[in-house]
Amino acid sequence: MSELSREPSVRRTGLARSIAGWVAPALILAAAIAGFLALGSQPPPARKPVEAPAATPVRSVPVQRVDGNIEIDADGVVVPLRELTLAAEVAGRVLRKAESCRAGQFVRAGAVLFEIDPRDYELAVQRLEGELRQAALTIEEIDEELAQNATSADLARRQVALSRREVERLEGLKANRIVTETEHERALREELSSANALSSLEGQKRVLTKRRSRLEEAQTLAATMLEQARLDLSRTRVIAPVDGLIVDDKVEQDSFVTKGAPLVTLEDTSAAEVKTSLRMDELAQVWGGRAAGGGDAHDVPDTPVKVSFVMSDKTYEWDGVLNRQEGRGIDEKTRTLPCRVLVREPGRVTAVDRYGATLATPPPEAPRSLMRGMFVDVRVKVDVPEPLLAVPQDAVRPSGELFLMREGRLAIVKPRAFHVGGGSFVIREGEGLVLPSDRVVTSQLSLPRAGMEIVEAVP
């Protein structure tokens, strides 16, 4: 076959393929549309009627009235009443150190803790005692001289009187020319000599009196120095001023100490204090019993406090009193007022079992006393001058709100409540946000809103 005959057949084949490439997709699309139309459309599902929301079941408790007194609950830590640093009041070598003068040991008031070498101070006392005796003897000598001077002065006065009478007699005889001028002058010289002797004795008396005053001052100074020496001698024995626990001992036996060098730190255990903090609304209850304008503005009235420490399954309690505030005011970080609770008898402990019954005798494992660093619970007993309402602690939401059931609907309020002992929060009845007839919702609610219907859950 020639090339001219093959060319038309090739053109016809390419045209057929081009037509098939356009027609085949159109036929497939038409078939799909026809099949979809053949299936038809389904009717929409029937809508169910929406039921009205049912009331949400909740658990609630009635609001309780609080009359008489309440307990404000707070945390605290035991701190020492005071720490005494005993220092050396005289210099010298530590001759003896008591065996009980060790950190952690308990000492009684009056116990000798240190004894500094007293020999230098004993010699000083002996020297000043000798000076004092010498001054006394010197004063006695002056007294003897003064007594002799008084006798001599009395004789001199008598001599002057006799000489004066002799001169007066001779003056009369001289006028009548019975005696000579020489005899008269001799009598005058004797009178002047007697007067001069009397004047010397009187001057000697004044000198002796001044000397005696000076010796008395010296005697007084020697007595003062002797008293100081005896005081220094007594200070060679360092004595515990109070019953307490040795916190730190800084000096060992045979060490040389200077005046003012610290020797030992003693913690006073005759009483203890608890450091706690109270909010202003809680302090308002403490101040509530005091008359308006009475007392100092920074004074905290003495209020009974129960301090408790939990160990194992028992609670140990001490009686205390809230007696003062600490620092200069409100803590900037916690917005509370630091206060101190005084426990006058830290060794008097009462044991309470898990059921709240007081044990007649504390168990052997009971703490013997309040110790520094103990984390304790502080319950301040306050007399309530006005009626209050109490709600359970778990009914107060984290935001401080309360959910109340009123006539089958939810009411949301946010009163000013403060925590008291026994796991309760109290609210002033006169505020009006919470009424005595209300019931407080204690169960959890999802999406709570004011006015929603609620009902008491069936137990």
CB 251 within 8 A of CB 97: yes
Angstrom distance (rounded) from CA 100 to CA 112: 9
Band of pLDDT at residue 423, cut at 50, 70 and 90: low
CB 383 within 8 A of CB 287: no
CB 261 within 8 A of CB 87: yes
**Above 50 in pLDDT, residue 34?**
yes
Sign of torsion over alpha carbons 210, 216, 219, 223: negative
Name which of 71, 40, 154 is nearest 425 in CA terms: 71
Q: Which residue did the predictor score with more confidence, 458 or 338?
A: 338
CB 393 within 8 A of CB 425: yes
Name which of 58, 63, 60, 59 is nearest 437 in CA terms: 63
Q: Where does 253-316 have alpha helices with state H?
A: 280-287
Q: State mean pLDDT over 154-175.
A: 76
How many whole angstroms from its chain centre is CA 14?
Answer: 109
Angstrom distance (rounded) from CA 336 to CA 400: 18
- What the block records as the tokens of 107 is 């000492």
What are the two backbone dihedrals, phi and then psi, of residue 341, each rounded to the nearest 5 degrees? -110, 125
| CA terminus-to-terminus distance, the chain | 106
- What the block records as the tokens of 310 is 């939990």
Tens digits of per-residue pLDDT, 264-285?
999 988 899 999 988 887 787 7
- What the block records as the tokens of 182 is 């020489």
What are the two backbone dihedrals, phi and then psi, of residue 274, each rounded to the nearest 5 degrees? -120, 125
Tens digits of per-residue pLDDT, 141-154?
888 888 888 888 88
26 class by beta-carbon count within 10 Å (0-12 exposed, 13-18 middle, 19+ buried): exposed
Q: State mean pLDDT over 29-54.
A: 66
Residue whose entry in the numeric block shows the structure tokens 């001044």: 210
CB 396 within 8 A of CB 441: no
pLDDT at 4: 45
- What the block records as the tokens of 31 is 């078939």
Q: Strands of 92-229 (E only): list them.
A: 92-97, 106-107, 112-116
Distances (CA, A) of 58 to 61, 73, 397: 10, 29, 15
CB 66 within 8 A of CB 385: no
Band of pLDDT at residue 202, cut at 50, 70 and 90: confident
Q: Which residue did the predictor score with more confidence, 172 or 335?
A: 335
**Above 90 in pLDDT, residue 227?**
yes
Taking only Cα atoms into account, the Rg of the chain, rounded to an integer number of angstroms, comes to: 55
Residues 6+ apart with CB under 8 A from 110: 239, 240
Amino acid at 64: Q
- What the block records as the tokens of 368 is 């013997």
Q: State mean pLDDT over 362-382.
A: 87
Angstrom distance (rounded) from CA 73 to CA 378: 6
Q: Which residue did the predictor score with more confidence, 209 or 430?
A: 209
CB atoms within 10 A of CB 86: 19
CB atoms within 10 A of CB 234: 13
Q: State mean pLDDT over 98-116.
A: 90
Q: Which helix or strand (DSSP H or E) is residue 437 part of?
A: none
CA atoms within 13 A on the CB side of 5: 2
Secondary structure of residue 408 in the 3-state scheme:
coil
